[in-house]
Amino acid sequence: MDLLPSSDQQQIVDTIQDFLRNEAPVDRLREFGAIGNSDAKLWPKLAELGFFGLSLPEEMGGIGLSAAEEMLVFQQFGYHLISPAIFGTILGARVAAFSGDAHLRDALLSGEARVGVANSRGAAGGTDAFHLFEADEAELILLCDDDEAALYPRSAFTHIERVNSTDAVLVLERARLGDSVEPRVRVSKETENIHARALMLMGAYALGIGQGARDMAVEYAQVREQFGKPIGSFQAIKHICADMAIRSEAALCQASFAALVMDDASPDTEFHAVASKIVACESAIKNAADCVQVHGAFGFTAEANVHHYLKRSHVADRLFGGLREQRRRILTFPTPA
Amino acid sequence: MDLNFTAEDRQFREEAREWLNANVFKERRPHGGQEMREYDLAWQRTQYDAGWAGVSWPKEYGGMGLGLTRQLIWYEEYARAHAPDNHLCFVGLNHGGPTIIARGSEEQKKEHLRPILSGEKIWCQGFSEPNAGSDLASLKTRAVIDGDELVITGSKIWTSHGHLSDMQELLVRTDPGAPKHKGISWVIFDMNTPGLDLRPIDIMSAPNHTHFVQCFYDEARVPLKNVVGDVNDGWSVAMSTLGFERGTAQIKDQIRYAFLVEDMIKKARDRYGAEFVSTDEFGARLAQLRADMAAARAMTYMAVSRAERDVSPAMASLMRAMVGQVQQRVRRLAFDIIGADGLENPEDDDWVYFYLRSYATTIAAGTLQIQRNIIGERVLGLPRGR
Ligand SMILES: Cc1cc2nc3c(=O)[nH]c(=O)nc-3n(C[C@H](O)[C@H](O)[C@H](O)COP(=O)(O)OP(=O)(O)OC[C@H]3O[C@@H](n4cnc5c(N)ncnc54)[C@H](O)[C@@H]3O)c2cc1C
């Protein structure tokens, strides 16, 4: 038993970290503005480095690593605020692979095809009302719920209407799923529980967002001076930062545990995935909010990157079901081992 | 990263489970007094006699000589079997003993370790003083070297179970002229030493039972060979003790609390109906605690993983700070679930008692604020305030 990355795993973390630091510094988001997220141009490179098929078995065109490696990589995607379309592409490749469509699978693994993500608008819209994330140029859209995971062609959606996104670097649309439309490919929960994986990976992604906000706050607390001292020497600020670190630690440990349980195909897989999403989204939202406070008025501007963490943390919370829904679900599981 | 326990680990788990199920004390643990001491020692002796005490302690001192992973497995099974929390043995088993293992002389190990495991000796902690709490290094209890003895004069306070203890891990000032961290020694003190006087202090959770005492030392004599580590190097020994106290000593509790939350979910459903619980705010709080307890348990796994790799002891404060607060929320919710009955506090009730007890979890072993200072300065590298 060991919750820390092995040296091989650390190497994977270092690789993805280096890549994202160079190719996707968080500063890039200042330029995107209202024109939408251009992270899709990273996809072919990430695909070439093998990150898209990391946890797919080799006979399905993947690298054959485990959920643990995938968790570590999604943590970095969150840390660098990579577009959540990454969930569409990577989970989409898994849907294609497990449904037996090798052609589609390979197209997705190459990073050429784009996949948006559909998310229920819940009580706000009714059962067939969705938000589509990063789907304007996507041929396919991932729809993943408790029963199954499926890839729909964009044409399966009707009443598509572009709306302003709170997280302004993301392209957001409202849409309805047409009557009696069929997905291009689908995988039932019994065949492969992609929904549990989506929740687990969203936990990892949210963990990364919270860590990013923590580091940004700590860095600022070391350099910003008032009353002749760095503000980080004031306990009121130091303790805010300490609380951020505590939340990130809890989220890290649970994300690691959830990934390992999934690799073991334990009956508690869903329980721990849900727990990870709850704890990590909480860490992301609260850390981002604290990061605003530590930055003072600067944190309230669009000039500092702080607001990107805050807005993305809410996207992470909403995707695949928000806190209220996850809390309802976690009480339905039997006592974990 | 892996969650795989080896075949031997699994076998160990099976055997531990079987033994615990057959041998765990069924009688409720008394909340105080000599009965509590007898109970805790008897349960410890039962474990020792059957060969189950000190899982990660060296064999030559009566332990099982297995690693921390087995210790974790043992505590998981311990919690699962609802084995009693023999809290009087806590100091000896979880930080006094481990400190002697890490820093003690061969003679000290031979003399003091086995009686902790075998349920003969209860240890207590004499660190805090009336004027040295969070600022522990400002402690003033004086020890003067006289030949091959230390002569101790001063006072310690908040000594949990001091009146029921045989031995004490005691911090004293051996060099008042040195800078405050440099003149302290860590001493093994026998509670039967002449010159020691105790004043009981009642606590809010159990007004009829003494939990801790104030100790007064009036020229109490201790052999110099009872100093652990070097004379005047006690601060670094104390840091080892606190590292254990905030780190691995917490393992058992977290697993116990995870089971407690499960019990609370059952109790809430029995009392109010499953439908009500899932829609009421109880449901939201139980759900959040279920998730947080899963994380707390994962944090213990991380603590064991880190301990195997010698990571900075300051990291232990992350877990300590998190679980201290979660435990308070668990106890508060348990108290709320019993509703108006919480205003009755019968002797045999645990939910009210432990609710009130939970106020200590962000004070003892270093307050939450002190943990935050440590995290801010030693984990995150923020500048010191002073
Ligand atoms: C149930 C229980 C059992 C205990 N058992 C033992 C025992 O067996 N042996 C033993 O030696 N001690 C024991 N203690 C004592 C415990 O270690 C101390 O209470 C603790 O270290 C705090 O010291 P204090 O109570 O003097 O509070 P103080 O240090 O006076 O603190 C008062 C308040 O000020 C805050 N504060 C103090 N300094 C700072 C700072 N630098 N920055 C920010 N805030 C600060 C604290 O967080 C706290 O809120 C026990 C305590 C409890 C509650």
Nearest residue to A216 (alpha-carbon basis) of A208, A205, A228, A225: A208
Residue B190 C-alpha, separation from nearest chain A C-alpha, in angstroms: 39
All residues of chain A having their beta carbon less than 8 Å from the beta carbon of residue B308 are 2
pTM: 0.94
Pair of tokens at residue A100: 């037996």
- Whether ligand 1 lies within 6 angstroms of the CB of B69 is answered as no
- Whether ligand 1 lies within 6 angstroms of the CB of B94 is answered as no
All residues of chain A having their beta carbon less than 8 Å from the beta carbon of residue B290 are 275, 330-331
Pair of tokens at residue B104: 């003690």
pLDDT band at A47 (very low <50, low <70, confident <90, very high): very high
Name the residue facing B383 among A233, A260, A279 (closest C-beta): A233
Q: Are A205 and A316 in contact (CB under 8 A)?
A: yes
What is the rounded average pLDDT of the residues A317-335? 95
- Whether ligand 1 lies within 6 angstroms of the CB of B128 is answered as yes
- Whether ligand 1 lies within 6 angstroms of the CB of B125 is answered as yes
Q: Which of B94-98, B204-208, B301-305, B370-374 has the lowest mean pLDDT?
A: B204-208
Contact with chain A for residue B278, Cβ under 8 A? yes
Q: Please tell me the CATH superfamily of domain A7-188, with its number.
A: Acyl-CoA dehydrogenase/oxidase, N-terminal domain (1.10.540.10)
d(CA A195, CA A188): 10
pLDDT band at B386 (very low <50, low <70, confident <90, very high): low
pLDDT band at A34 (very low <50, low <70, confident <90, very high): very low
Q: Catalytic residue among B77, B129, B169, B245, which?
A: B245
Q: Are A330 and B290 in contact (CB under 8 A)?
A: yes
Neighbour count for residue A319 (Cβ, 10 Å): 24
The CA–CA distances, whole Å, from B115 to A90, A115, B111, B135 equal 58, 66, 8, 32
What is the rounded average pLDDT of the residues A72-76? 98
Best of B134, B159, B210, B377 to mutate for ligand 1, by most ligand atoms within 8 A of CB? B134
Question: What's chain B's length in residues?
Answer: 386
Q: Which atom of ligand 1 is nearest to the CA of B360?
A: 53
Neighbour count for residue A186 (Cβ, 10 Å): 17
The structure tokens 């009730």 sit at: B349
Phi, psi (deg, nearest 5) at residue A115: -130, 125
Neighbour count for residue A91 (Cβ, 10 Å): 22
Residue B357 C-alpha, separation from nearest chain A C-alpha, in angstroms: 23
The tens digit of pLDDT for each residue in B172-190 reads 999 999 999 999 999 999 9
Amino acid at A209: I
CB contact under 8 A, B4 and A1: yes
CB contact under 8 A, A256 and B383: no
Nearest residue to A244 (alpha-carbon basis) of A324, A322, A321, A309: A309
Name the residue facing B3 among A5, A264, A335 (closest C-beta): A264
Which residues 69-88 of B have a C-beta within 8 angstroms of A?
A: 69, 72
Pair of tokens at residue B305: 């993983």
Amino acid at B251: I
Complex ipTM tops 0.90: yes
- What pLDDT score does B252 carry? 81
Q: What is the mean pLDDT of chain A?
A: 95
Domains of chain B with CATH codes? 7-117 (1.10.540.10), 123-233 (2.40.110.10), 247-378 (1.20.140.10)
Pair of tokens at residue B64: 């099982």
CA B379 from centroid of its chain's CA atoms: 23
CATH of domain A194-330: 1.20.140.10
Residues 6+ apart with CB under 8 A from A194: A91, A94, A95, A98, A144, A149, A187
Residue B223 has pLDDT above 80, yes or no: yes
Does residue B60 have an active-site annotation?
no
Domain boundaries, given as residue ranges, for chain A:
7-188, 194-330
CA A308 from centroid of its chain's CA atoms: 14
The tens digit of pLDDT for each residue in A245-268 reads 999 999 999 999 999 999 999 999
Neighbour count for residue A96 (Cβ, 10 Å): 28
Q: Are A105 and A93 in contact (CB under 8 A)?
A: yes
Burial track A217-242 (b if 16+ CB lie within 10 A, e otherwise): bbebbbebeeeeebbbbbeebbbbbb
All residues of chain A having their beta carbon less than 8 Å from the beta carbon of residue B369 are 235, 239
Q: How remote is the CA of residue B359 from the centroid of ligand 1, in Å?
A: 12
The CA–CA distances, whole Å, from B128 to A51, B125, B140, B266, B272 equal 53, 8, 10, 40, 44
Pair of tokens at residue B95: 């930080």
pLDDT band at B245 (very low <50, low <70, confident <90, very high): confident
